[in-house]
């Protein structure tokens, strides 16, 4: 008996090691890096074919529905000899948090900057209330459903609406100054609205504003994104200008109503982008057929030398979806506005840097 014991131990730890290696390779769904690299794999024990894996989490109460649990379980079950898996969680302790923050910072790149995979679109308009945020939210959902990794940055620091449109209001998780976006419907969100009291006015300007936007780009761990949509406030004020400066490789999407007055002010925003050498990826005409005049999208597109990516009809369902906090593409995918918005997402041109360092719109499809 004393001779069989060491053998039994060796085989147990062999299985434990194999499970540990498999779990270390699981890519964290919010951080886009393997758990092993992030230092988030805790104890792994194996007894017979039964294994228990402890994963370190960033928040105290990791929800049982946390997608990470499922991924860890699957990875462990994939190891030969594993019959049963128990996933436990323990909150990452102070030193672990500090080293995780360091690793996240080291791997973080401003979306759209050199070395980042993200295409960045700034959604702008001349007038307020033409539907920028509604278009942004639904484009994000459409792109995420097509398998892309999508982020939405609510750059409307005073009139933020992203939390409402997605029906989320929670403090983002932060690890030593590195913020994680709030994930919902497969989209990563960041908004000043997650941090402030709804009734409280946001009164930043000038340097504070610039700092806040920089933080949203550099201190948020967006992970590997394919697309970042930036929801701008209307007009050509401080925020759109700052975004232009901070994200020189972005392209602009201009939203307008068919009305001549809206189209004319939208043209100013488009020209501001072009003057800053930011390409205009396209025009979205919203509230088409709603008695707001006609032809605004076409005229704006002609002025800016950019395509009309779609015409979104005036649709009460879109308004309702905004109030309910569920993007229309999810709540009523067959509504006329939802179909039109899905079309805009499919028509979104890929904008790449040209060899001479200027960005040029390239059209797909
Ligand atoms: N096609 C549409 N049909 C019906 N209602 C719409 C449509 N597009 C937007 N709306 C509604 O119009 C209002 C303004 O939309 P939204 O907030 O998206 O505009 P915005 O351009 O982001 O506004 P702001 O300039 O204030 O940021 C919302 O109540 C929204 O639900
Ligand atoms: Mg808005």
Are 139 and 145 in contact, with CB atoms under 8 Å apart?
no
| 237 CB-near residues (< 8 Å, 6+ apart) | none
- Domain positions in the chain are 4-92, 119-362
At the top level of CATH, which class does the domain 119-362 belong to? alpha beta
Using the 8-state DSSP alphabet, how is residue 248 labeled? T
Q: For ligand 1, say whether the CB of 159 is within 6 Å of any of its atoms.
A: yes
| C-alpha to C-alpha distance for 100 and 106, rounded to whole angstroms | 10
Could you say which ligand is closest to the alpha carbon of residue 235?
Answer: 1
- Farthest CA pair distance, the chain: 91
Dihedral Cα 73, 76, 81, 86, nearest 10 deg: -50
Quick one: pLDDT at residue 64? Answer: 66
Confidence of residue 365 (pLDDT cuts 50, 70, 90): very low
> Is-contact 40 53, C-beta < 8 A?
no
The answer to whether the CB of 132 is under 6 A from ligand 1 is: yes
CA of 314 to the centre of ligand 1 (A): 10
- With tokens 């940055």, the residue in question is 153
Q: Residues 40, 32: contact at Cβ < 8 Å?
A: no
Q: Which fold has domain 4-92?
A: GMP Synthetase; Chain A, domain 3 (3.30.300)
* Ligand 1 contact, 288 CB (< 6 A): no
**Does the beta carbon of 125 lie inside 6 Å of ligand 1?**
yes
What is the rounded average pLDDT of the residues 106-114?
85
- Range of weakest confidence among 127-141, 193-207, 215-229: 193-207
pTM above 0.85, yes or no: yes
- Of the candidates 196, 197, 170, 174, the residue with the CA atom closest to the CA atom of residue 184: 170
Taking CA atoms only, the protein residue closest to ligand 1 atom 23 is: 129
Q: Express each pLDDT in 15-34 by its tens digit.
A: 999 999 999 999 998 888 99
Q: Please report which confidence band the pLDDT of residue 251 belongs to, taking 50, 70 and 90 as the band edges.
A: very high
Task: Give yes or no for a contact between 240 and 209, defined as CB atoms under 8 angstroms apart.
Answer: no
Q: Report the pLDDT value the prediction gives residue 203, as an integer from 0 to 100.
A: 73
Task: Indicate the average pLDDT of the chain.
Answer: 89
Place of tokens 């049982």: 64
């Amino acid at each position: 008996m004393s001779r069989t014991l060491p053998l039994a131990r060796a085989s147990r730890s062999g299985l434990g090691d194999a499970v540990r290696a498999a779990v270390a390779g699981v890519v964290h769904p919010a951080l886009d890096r393997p758990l092993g690299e992030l230092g988030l794999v805790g104890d792994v024990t194996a007894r017979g074919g039964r294994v228990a894996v402890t994963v370190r989490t960033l928040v105290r109460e990791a929800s049982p529905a946390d997608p990470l649990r499922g991924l860890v379980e699957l990875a462990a079950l994939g190891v030969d000899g594993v019959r049963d898996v128990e996933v436990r969680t323990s909150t990452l302790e102070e030193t672990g948090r500090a080293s995780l923050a360091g690793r996240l910072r080291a791997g973080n790149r401003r979306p759209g900057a050199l070395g980042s995979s993200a295409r960045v679109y700034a959604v702008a308009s001349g007038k307020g209330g033409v539907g920028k945020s509604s278009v942004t939210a639904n484009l994000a959902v459409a792109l995420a459903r097509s398998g892309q990794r999508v982020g939405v940055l609510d750059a409307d620091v005073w009139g933020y609406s992203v939390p409402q449109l997605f029906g989320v209001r929670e403090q983002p998780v932060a690890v030593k100054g590195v913020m994680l976006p709030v994930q919902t419907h497969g989209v990563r969100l960041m908004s000043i609205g997650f941090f402030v009291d709804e009734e409280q006015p946001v009164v930043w300007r000038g340097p504070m504003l610039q700092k806040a936007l920089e933080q949203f780009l550099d201190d948020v761990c967006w992970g590997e994104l394919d697309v970042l949509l930036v929801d701008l406030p209307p007009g050509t004020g401080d925020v759109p200008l700052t975004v232009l400066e901070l994200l020189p490789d972005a392209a602009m999407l201009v939203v307008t109503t068919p009305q001549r007055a809206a189209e004319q002010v939208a043209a100013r925003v488009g020209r501001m982008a072009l003057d800053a050498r930011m390409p205009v990826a396209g025009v979205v005409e919203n509230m088409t057929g709603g008695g707001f005049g006609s032809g605004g999208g076409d005229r704006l597109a002609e002025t800016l030398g950019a395509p009309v990516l779609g015409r979104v009809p005036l649709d009460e369902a879109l308004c309702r979806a905004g109030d309910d906090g569920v993007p229309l593409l999810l709540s009523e995918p067959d509504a006329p506005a939802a179909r039109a918005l899905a079309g805009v997402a499919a028509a979104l041109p890929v904008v790449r840097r040209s060899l001479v360092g200027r960005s040029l719109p390239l059209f797909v499809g």
